[in-house]
Amino acid sequence: MDETTAFALEGQKDATGARLGMWLFILSEILLFGGLFVLYSAYRYKNPVDFHHASRELDVILGTFNTIILLTSSLSMAASISALQRGQGKLSMVLLAATMALGFLFLVNKGFEWGMKIEHGLYPNSPILLARAKGEILFFGLYYVMTGLHGLHVLVGVCVLCGMAMLIAKDKMNQMHFIPLENAGLYWHLVDIIWIFLYPLFYLIS
């Protein structure tokens, strides 16, 4: 084995190790949200009618719109990685910018949604909410915690992608070195998957 092959093999091992590390982090995130999902299902099992009533008050159209936004951002994220691997750095950055813009749009919508709820006096510990049925208080508590934690993940994701765009701009990442972008992509898709479950569980209780 000559030196170049050995070097190439070592690089390959690094790539697998980096991906594996990212996957372990992703699985720990799944269990973090998983705990909240278990809490949600237990409370919903106990208070099916209250959950149904409270869910009716959420804006289904806005929720669906946000689902499409995140799905589309996943598409541009995956395409951005492909573009970089093909040596199209500029295209990769444009697609990354689109992903960030979509993530930002998601947060703006979420902000409007929360704003409207808060305007109606529906926020944790508010007198209007506390006057309601127990199950509805639990529903809105879980709604704020779970979509809030998810929103925080979107915000972190946008910041990470911003860093990735800078790395490409400085040519620290290119056709040969793209592992950080791949891992950032894995994280972004994870955030998408969590929303895929949050959407029917909060907006579509019939």
Partner 1 sequence: MKPQEEIRKTRYKTYALVWMILVILTGMTLSVAGMELGGWTVLIALAIAGTKSGLVLNYFMHLRSEKLLIFRVIIPLVMAVFLVFILLTFSDLAFRGGVK
Choose the stretch contacting partner 1; rule: CB under 8 A; options: 98-106, 116-124, 139-147, 183-191.
183-191
Smallest gap from residue 4 Cβ to partner 1 (A): 14
**Nearest in space to 185 (alpha carbons), one of 31, 34, 10, 18:** 18
Q: Do residues 186 and 22 lie in contact, with contact meaning Cβ atoms separated by under 8 Å?
A: yes
Asked if residue 1 binds partner 1 (CB under 8 A), the reply is no
Token pair, residue 135, equals: 């199950």
Fill in the per-residue mask, 51 to 90: x = in contact with partner 1 (CB under 8 A), - = not in contact.
---------x---x--xx--xx-xx-xxx--x--xx----
Stretch that binds partner 1, among 110-118, 123-131, 141-149, 197-205 (CB under 8 A): 197-205
Residues 154 and 147: their CA atoms lie apart, in Å, by 10
Q: How far is the CB of 7 from partner 1 (least distance, A)?
A: 13
Interface with partner 1 (CB under 8 A), residue total 45
Rounded Cα distance, 160 and 171, in Å: 17
Furthest CA-CA distance within the chain: 75
Exposed e or buried b per residue across 121-158, where buried means at least 16 C-beta atoms within 10 angstroms of its C-beta: ebeeebeebeebeebbbbbbbbbbebbeebbebbeebb
Q: Does 98 bind partner 1 (CB under 8 A)?
A: no
The only residue of 53, 132, 177, 189 in contact with partner 1, by rule CB under 8 A: 189
Residues near partner 1 (CB under 8 A) are 12, 15-16, 19-20, 23-24, 27, 30-31, 34-35, 38, 41-42, 45-46, 60, 64, 67-68, 71-72, 74-75, 77-79, 82, 85-86, 185-186, 189-190, 192-193, 196-197, 199-201, 204-206
